[in-house]
Structure 1
Amino acid sequence: MLVRDIMTRPALTASPATPVRAAAALLGGRGFTALPVVDDDGGLLGIVTEADLLRDRIRHDPRSPLLGGELAAGGPPVRVADVMTTDVVTARTWTDVADLVGEMAARGIRSVPVVEAGRVVGIVSRRDVVDTLTRADAAIAADVRRRLERYAGPGRWSVSVHDGVVTLADPFVDPAERHAAAVVAAAVRGVADVRVVPQG
């Protein structure tokens, strides 16, 4: 499965001049965890996350002796440019989701902008990946059938899906064709495993 199969597009973005409060409202209102920060041409400049937006914005309780020092230090950051991260992990539309998930886990990243030709074209979040794990079996089966029909014509394969595991029944004994069909099916979003069995 490739990033293009699961990414959210178009990505909701911010500019460096976007007020921090407006960026927070975008994240909260859409349920996202990060916004790519782009220039006027859609080029990636950075990313702003929920954690970035919280930085230096939450003051201690008025009864805390720490509040005085916080107030003396001045106001909180106002613009996205003041809080965004500029060292950004990115993906391409053809990046393998398995590779991206490994990198996201290793780095503790929740969202990754997808960039093509220097412009942000989408974003992949952990939620996008988790959604593939809960995709309905009927939707998976329909997609597998469509792809197999494009590959080998209608009616060649019998398709059933249970808990994301695809079973393909093949009326012919051709190891190369069975392997190719399994590869086609495995590329469908939400497929956990593929089994090929004799038909009949």
Structure 2
Amino acid sequence: MKAREVMSHPVITIRADAGLGLAADMLTRHGFTGLPVTDDDDHLVGIVTEADLLRERLDSTSNPNSPADEHFSWRRHRKVVGDVMTTSVESLTPGADTSELARLMLEERIRCVPIVDGRQILGIVTRRDLLRAGVIRSDADIATDISRELAAFSDADRWSVSVESGRAEIQDHIDSANDRQIAVRLAMALPGVKGAHAHYLTSDPF
């Protein structure tokens, strides 16, 4: 599956000279975690995220000359999007594979990736887009799949499975190192699993 198949388009963008209040309003109104920032030629020049705005707000309200936090107003805050945006933007082309998108998002801990042709922005892919397409899978879904595979291999009550950030922890209630090795191989064959470890509840990990 390619980026063009899962990206959202047309893209809602914001200009670098826009006020931070407008950026905050757009993020809140549309439920976005980030907005691509463009120049007068609609070329991608950065991205502004919730984290960028929160960081700026915290910096501002920590200043003794700033208004009290409960009365904070972006309107009185003179900075613009270009002052706080992230300029080193990770972007990919429409032909990029969704597995590459998923790897980039997970490894770089980013929530959205603009899709570009040169500097022209064509679309954007979020983690939600990849989840919807089944490229990125939730830990709960992965744990369910592993439990299903282990139940088919051996007694379902024998195994306890937990998954965190794609890494599976498998507890075996029966002491069989060979079966636990098979359990790890079964888990690692499933989509979304980045690592797997199995151990007997009252023994050292094999």
Same fold (TM over 0.5): yes
CA distance in 1, matches of 2:18, 2:99: 33
CA distance in 2, matches of 1:105, 1:86: 19
Q: What amino acid maps onto 1:57 in structure 2?
A: R
Percentage of identical aligned residues: 39
Give, in angstroms, the shift of residue 103 of structure 1.
1.2
Instruction: Give 3-state SS (helix, strand or coil) of 2:36's partner.
Output: strand
Instruction: Give 3-state SS (helix, strand or coil) of 2:56's partner.
Output: coil
1:34 aligns with 2:34: yes
Instruction: Count matched residues.
Output: 129
CA contact (8 A) 1:38 1:45 kept: yes
Which residue pairs with 1:21 in the alignment? Answer: 21
Which residue pairs with 1:112 in the alignment? Answer: 113
CA contact (8 A) 1:44 1:120 kept: yes
Instruction: Give 3-state SS (helix, strand or coil) of 1:101's partner.
Output: helix
CA contact (8 A) 1:33 1:49 kept: yes
CA distance in 2, matches of 1:108, 1:93: 21
CA distance in 1, matches of 2:110, 2:95: 19
- Stretches (4+) displaced over 3 A: 72-77
RMSD: 2.5
Determine which structure has greater relative contact order: mean sequence separation of CA pairs < 8 Å that are 6+ residues apart, divided by chain length.
1
Which residue pairs with 2:126 in the alignment? Answer: 125
CA contact (8 A) 2:44 2:119 kept: yes
Give CA deviations for 1:131-165 in whole Å, capped at 9, x if unaligned.
1139xxxxxxxxxxxxxxxxxxxxxxxxxxxxxxx
Give, in angstroms, the shift of residue 56 of structure 1.
2.8
Give, in angstroms, the shift of residue 72 of structure 1.
3.3
Question: Which blocks of at least 5 consecutive residues in structure 1 are unaligned?
Answer: 61-66, 135-191, 193-200
CA distance in 2, matches of 1:80, 1:15: 7
Q: Which moved more, 1:111-120 or 1:82-91?
A: 111-120
1:51 aligns with 2:60: no
CA distance in 2, matches of 1:86, 1:70: 25
Give, in angstroms, the shift of residue 82 of structure 1.
1.0
CA contact (8 A) 2:8 2:125 kept: yes
Which residue pairs with 1:71 in the alignment? Answer: 64
CA distance in 2, matches of 1:17, 1:132: 35
CA distance in 2, matches of 1:105, 1:77: 34
Question: Which blocks of at least 5 consecutive residues in structure 2 are unaligned?
Answer: 68-75, 136-190, 192-206
Cα gap change, 1:59 to 1:118, in 2 (>3 Å): closer
Which residue pairs with 1:92 in the alignment? Answer: 93
Give CA deviations for 1:86-131 in whole Å, capped at 9, x if unaligned.
0010011000000110011000010111111320111110011111
Which residue pairs with 2:81 in the alignment? Answer: 80
Give, in angstroms, the shift of residue 77 of structure 1.
5.7
Which residue pairs with 1:182 in the alignment? Answer: none
Which residue pairs with 2:72 in the alignment? Answer: none
